Amino acid sequence: MQFIQHAMPPEPLKLVISYSPEDAKYYTAISKQLKLLENQGLIELWSEKDVLLGADPEAEKAKAIQSAQMLLLLISIDYLISDEYLRISSNLTHLPSERVVPVLTGNCDWKVVPELTNLHMLPADNIPLSDKTDSQLYNEVIEELKKLFGKILGLLPPVPDKPFTSLPSPPHQEAGIPKMLQLKYTCNRSVQKGEFLKSTLQNRNAKIQYYYIRGLVKQSTEGLSRRFYHREIPGNPIFGNKNISPNFVYIPLVPDADPEVFKLNFLSDLCDQLKCSNQEIFFNGNISHLLNALCVRTYDVVCVGAKLKSEHWNASVPLFLDWLVTDFCNYHQPDMPVFIFFLMIDYAGDIHRQAIEDELRILKEKFLQRNITAQLLAPLDTVQKVDIEIWLESTLRQTDVANRLALLNQYFGTQTEFDMCEVEQKLEEIIRQHNSEIE
């Protein structure tokens, strides 16, 4: 975006970014992108580094917020329950609503927070930055902020006055075609989706469910688990009318040779993400100690994803999974929420794949003997071109066949199968192209 030049540059816009420590990486990414504007003298971004030695950091930040011309709020469940948000929420009224910009960094039920309901959330599709790429962060957040800065500072070219006339839709598209959401996990995985739906129906009364998602590293096991969380669970006849926890727990598993250390590391990560303060969970505790956790107690469905790289698999992993299913989760109360566990395994190659598959089947049979179902979803393989064509047809059904085929050939050529990670990247480009053409 180009700003128009004035003979006398405007005073820099005073900007404060408010966030929780858990979202520091998003603060760093955004402030780094804004540094160029700061170097040009267009904005003045307050930082804790500006606090002089001996000064009270909290008092200095309060002053900066009071004098700020714009506030940027990095919204996540961690932020909304933090002391930081409690302090700043009372200051939101001293600025016009267009000068307070929330940026969604993690899944949370922000729409129930009164102070945020009248604000314009970024990204516009309400998909959090945790599910976005760096390029999407730039296009959907930084570019929008630059437009807003330019408008406030009077640096955008004026829009000429023209009498209103309704413009016809471009000839290659029909009027009323909706924008497509920016989702990385959009391609068809009909086999796994069908297995998941069947299993949830068969185990509709189970309070704890387990699903194994496995595939080569480029087949995006995490993408499928997030699709289940964002799409399949809310649309499921069992869970569709339930209150689903907005915090999708994601824990990278790093097995330790000592099984007890492995368990404690997992419990520590789980408690941190679910905001559990009950320390009894570390002393022969079970899942019941999570029921009063902030991200559990008011919800009907809680999703936990744990990801493991095959090269980290060792003898402690089967012991850990056995403990998780038969010991830690050995609890059932009619009024407790449903816990859905997704274990994602990324195979680096076929070296360990068969051995791990054999171990998982042994565990499954062992669990069945105790009336516990652990569903091994079909392994994720390469994506067939026909699946991509089906996705295009169902998603762009208001676009004519010729345009869909042109997109298919433009982005996928004559190749017949693809790694899922590659498909996700190309689908993002298609979505962006589609949305830009209808703006």
In this structure, the answer to whether residues 194 and 283 fall within a common structural domain is yes
For the question of whether the overall pTM of this predicted structure is more than 0.85, the answer is no
Judge whether 209 lies within some domain: yes
- Predicted confidence at residue 109, as pLDDT, reads 83
pLDDT exceeds 80 at position 76: yes
Judge whether 163 lies within some domain: no
Question: What average pLDDT does the segment 38-51 reach?
Answer: 80
In this structure, the answer to whether residues 208 and 305 fall within a common structural domain is yes
pLDDT exceeds 90 at position 407: no
- Predicted confidence at residue 111, as pLDDT, reads 83
Judge whether 7 lies within some domain: no
Question: What average pLDDT does the segment 215-235 reach?
Answer: 84
pLDDT exceeds 90 at position 329: yes
pLDDT exceeds 80 at position 215: yes
In this structure, the answer to whether residues 266 and 294 fall within a common structural domain is yes
**In the chain, % of residues over pLDDT 90:** 27
In this structure, the answer to whether residues 39 and 140 fall within a common structural domain is yes
Task: State yes or no: cis peptide before 123, omega within 30 of 0.
Answer: yes
Residue 265: which of 213, 306, 310 has the closest Cα?
306
In this structure, the answer to whether residues 223 and 335 fall within a common structural domain is yes
Judge whether 2 lies within some domain: no
In this structure, the answer to whether residues 355 and 208 fall within a common structural domain is yes
Judge whether 296 lies within some domain: yes
* Containing structural domain, residue 338: 190-376
The residue to which tokens 């990204």 are assigned: 123
Question: What average pLDDT does the segment 52-67 reach?
Answer: 75
The mean of the pLDDT values for the chain is 82
63 vs 369, higher pLDDT: 369
- At residue 135, what is the residue type? S
In this structure, the answer to whether residues 137 and 254 fall within a common structural domain is no
What is the side-by-side strand order in the sheet with 13-18? Answer: 43-45, 13-18, 70-75, 100-104
CATH number, position 107 = 3.40.50.10140
pLDDT exceeds 90 at position 105: yes
Judge whether 261 lies within some domain: yes
How many domains would you assign to the chain?
Answer: 3
CATH number, position 353 = 3.40.50
Dist CA 379 CA 357 (whole Å)? 10
Measure Cα distances from 114 to 80, 89, 301 in Å: 12, 10, 24
Question: What average pLDDT does the segment 142-156 reach?
Answer: 79
- Across the strands, what pairs with 244? 301
Judge whether 278 lies within some domain: yes
In this structure, the answer to whether residues 333 and 251 fall within a common structural domain is yes
Judge whether 355 lies within some domain: yes
